[in-house]
Chain A
Amino acid sequence: MSRIEIRNLVKMYGAHQALHGIDISIQPGEFCVLVGPSGCGKSTTLRMVAGLETISGGEVSIGDRVVNGLRPKERGIAMVFQNYALYPSKTVYNNMAFSLQLSRMPKPEIERRVREVAEILELTPLLDRKPGALSGGQRQRVAMGRAIVRDPKVFLFDEPLSNLDAKLRGQMRAEIKRLHQRLENTIIYVTHDQVEAMTLADRIVIMRDGRIEQQGTPDEIFHDPDTVFVAGFMGSPPMNLVDCMVTPDGLKLGDSEITCATPNGLRAGERVICGIRPDDIRPASDMTADMTADTAHSAPITVPINLIEQLGTEKLVHFSAGDHEMIGKTGGRVTMAEGAPHPMSFDMKHAYFFDPKSEKRIR
C-alpha cells in the first residue's frame, strides 16, 4: 500500500506531445481507473508510472520516493499486460516464480508463495502447463498471479480484460474487485470500458488528448459531469446532448417547448447545450407508476418515434426532436408503435446545461 503522486507529468514523442501535464493523487489502497478514448494517453501514463517509458517532464512518486530515475524493478510495482505477456517457454509455475527466482529468494519460500497464490486464483491444477495450453481466462489469471506473488505495493493493469469475451470479462471483473478488497493494494487500472470503470473504481480519471478532463468518484463522474465530453463519454446509451434555445419558461427544443427551470445565469434567447440521460426521458404513458419525489417531469412533448430497440428488461425509444435524434427509455413490456408520434416526458430535474463554446457545465 503506497500513495502515488503524479505531478505535472509530460510526455514527448519527438515533437509530438502525448501528455500535457497530468496531475493525479492516489491514496494508499485506492483503486484508480484511467479511462478515455483511444490514443488519449492512458497507456503512456501507466507505462511512465511503471518505468517502461521515460518521463519527459514532471514527477512520479510512489510511497515517499520520487521514482523518475528508478528502473521498473526498483519501483515496487507489478503490471498486468493486455496480451498477458506470459513467457511461452515457461510453465505456469515458473511464470509465476520468475521474479522471485531472480531476486534469489530461497526455493521453499518461492514454492510456498506460488502455491498460495495459485490456490487463491484456482490455478493449482494448471501449474505444470505451458501458457500455450491455457484458455484466455486462465492466461489472464496466470498474469494476475505473476503480479500477486511479488506482493507489490502497487498494481498496474493495462486493459487486462479486453481480450476476453463478455461473460468472462464480467467474471474476471468481479474477481479483480474481490482481490482488491482482500489485498488492499494501490491499483492503477487502464480501460476504455466504462462499465469496468464504474464498477471497479474508487476514483475515475477521464482523459482526453493527453489531458485530464475530470476526475472523481464514479458517482461524481456519472451524476455530476463537468464537461460535455465527460457527460457524453460515460453511460450507455450515451446522454442526449442537444443544442437548445433558452426561453423565458424553459427551453425550445426543435419546434416544441419544454417548461423547466434553467440556471440563473442564462437569459432568454441564448443558446445552451442541454444534456439528459435516456433514463430520464420516458413515454408520458409510463409516468404513473414510475414517479417519485426525486423526479420533476415536464409536460410531455409529442415527437415522432423512429425506432424501438428491445433490450429485454427495457426498451430504447429513438425519436426526433427538431433536427436532433434522441433516445429515451421505457419498460421491456411496454408496447409502442414505431413511426407514430408519441408524447414523451423529460425529467428536467436531472438535466445538465453546458456552455456551447467552452463545453463547460453551467451550474
Chain B
Amino acid sequence: MTSTIRQMTTKGTPYFFLLPGLVILGALLSVPLYKVVEYSLYDNVIVERNPTYVGLANYQTLLTDPGYWSAGLNTLLFTVGSVLGHMVVGIGLALLVNADIAPRARTFFRSMLVLPWIFTAVVVALNWQLLLNPFGLINYILQWMGLTTEPLDWLGDPNLAMWSLLLISTWRGYPFIMVSFLSGLQTVPRELYEAAEIDGAGFWSKFWHVTLPQLKPVIYGVALLDLIWTFQLFPLVWLSTGGGPGRATEVLSTLTFRLAFVDFQFSQAATVAVSILIISAAFTLLYLRNEARRL
C-alpha cells in the first residue's frame, strides 16, 4: 500500500515540476483559440461592448466574398510555389554541398548557404525590396546584360508581384530543406552508390534510383512541415508586398491582419483565422500520421 503511494509520488514528481509550464502554455494556447472561435460567431466584437450573436452568418458572408476566394487562391499559389521552390533548390544545393570536395570548402559553403535562414523577416524583406526596386541592383544587372530595356517594377507590377514574392520566399525558406536533406543524404550508404556505379548508373540514374528512394520519407515529412509553415506565413509577405499591389499578393494571413487591424472588422478577421486553423490542422494531422508511421 505505502509502496504504491511512494511509487506514485516518485513517478508523479517530474510531472509536478512540469505543471507550471504546462498550465501557462495551455492557457496561452487555449484561451486565444477559444476566443477567436467565439469572436467568429458574433458581430462587431471588440469595437462594441455588447456584440450580437449571429451564429454562422460570418462564415456565410466570407464564403460569398470574392476577396476571400482570391486570397485563398493566392495562398494556394504562394504555398505550393514556395514549397516546390524550397524543395528543388534545397535538394539541389544539398547534393552540391554533399559532394566530395575539400572539407574546408564544404564547411564554408554549408555555412554560407544556411545564412538566409538566420535573418529576420524584416531584414529579408527590406533587402529584397532594395534589390528588386526599379532602380535596384537586379534591374541594373538585367539591363546591363541586355535582357530588358526598361526597368521592371518587380514588386509593384501585379503580374510580377507573386513571382517576385515566390523568389523571396524560396530564398528565405530553402535552407531548412537543404539542411534536412543533407542529413538525409549522409545516411545513404556509400556502397549503394558504388553498386549503382558498377551497374552502370550515371549521375541522374543514381539520383533517381538510389538517392530519391532513400530520401522519400524525409521528403514527405519535410514537405508537409513546410506546407504548414508557409500556409500561414505572415511577416515575410506583409513586409515585402503588404498583399499588394492591389490584392495581387493578398494571402489569407495578410487578409486576416488587414481585416482586423486596418479595417477593424474583428469578427470577419476571426472567421478567416478559423478557416486557416482548420486547413492547417488538417495538414498537421497528415504530418503527425506520417511521423507516427515512421516510428
Contacts and interface: CB of A to CB of B under 8 A. Distances in A.
B194 A102 contact: no
Contact of B192 (A50, A79, A87, A146): A87
B213 interface: yes
Interface in B187-231: 189, 191-192, 194-201, 205, 209-210, 213-214, 216
Interface string B153-192: 0000000000000000000000000000000000001011
Interface of B: 189, 191-192, 194-201, 205, 209-210, 213-214, 216
B209 A71 contact: no
B199 A99 contact: yes
B16 to A, nearest CB: 44
B189 A72 contact: no
A72 B213 contact: no
A306 interface: no
Contacts, number: 60
A52 interface: yes
A339 interface: no
A88 interface: yes
Interface string A310-342: 000000000000000000000000000000000
A187 interface: no
Given A50-B198, A73-B198, A73-B199, A98 B209 contact: yes
A192 interface: no
A188 to B, nearest CB: 14
A57 B271 CA distance: 74
Contacts of B216: 89
Given A83-B191, A85-B191, A85-B192, A90 B209 contact: yes
B213 A79 contact: no
A71 to B, nearest CB: 7
A103 to B, nearest CB: 6
A73 B197 contact: yes
14 contacts: A52-B194, A73-B198, A77-B198, A83-B191, A87-B209, A88-B213, A89-B209, A89-B216, A90-B213, A98-B199, A98-B209, A103-B200, A146-B195, A146-B199
Contacts of A83: 189, 191
Nearest to A82: B191
Contacts of B214: 88-89
A85 B197 contact: no
A85 B209 contact: no
Contacts of A86: 195
B191 A81 contact: yes
Given A85-B192, A87-B192, A87-B210, A72 B205 contact: no
Cβ-closest 5 pairs across A and B? A89-B213, A99-B199, A73-B200, A85-B191, A85-B195
Interface of A: 50-52, 71-73, 77-79, 81, 83, 85-90, 98-99, 102-103, 146, 150
Contacts of A73: 197-201
Given A87-B209, A88-B214, A98-B209, A78 B201 contact: no
Contacts of A71: 197
Contacts of B213: 87-90
A78 B205 CA distance: 18
B11 to A, nearest CB: 38
Nearest to A150: B199
Nearest to B197: A72
Contacts of A90: 209, 213
A146 B195 CA distance: 10
A93 to B, nearest CB: 14
Contacts of A78: 198
Contacts of B194: 52, 72, 79, 81, 85
B195 A102 contact: no
B200 A85 contact: no
A82 to B, nearest CB: 8
Nearest to B212: A89
A140 B189 CA distance: 17
Given A88-B214, A99-B200, A79 B205 contact: no
Between B192, B195, B214, the greatest number of chain A beta carbons within 10 A of the residue's beta carbon is seen for B195
Contacts of A98: 196, 199, 201, 209
A86 B192 CA distance: 7
Contacts of B198: 50-52, 72-73, 77-79, 99
B181 to A, nearest CB: 17
Contacts of B191: 81, 83, 85
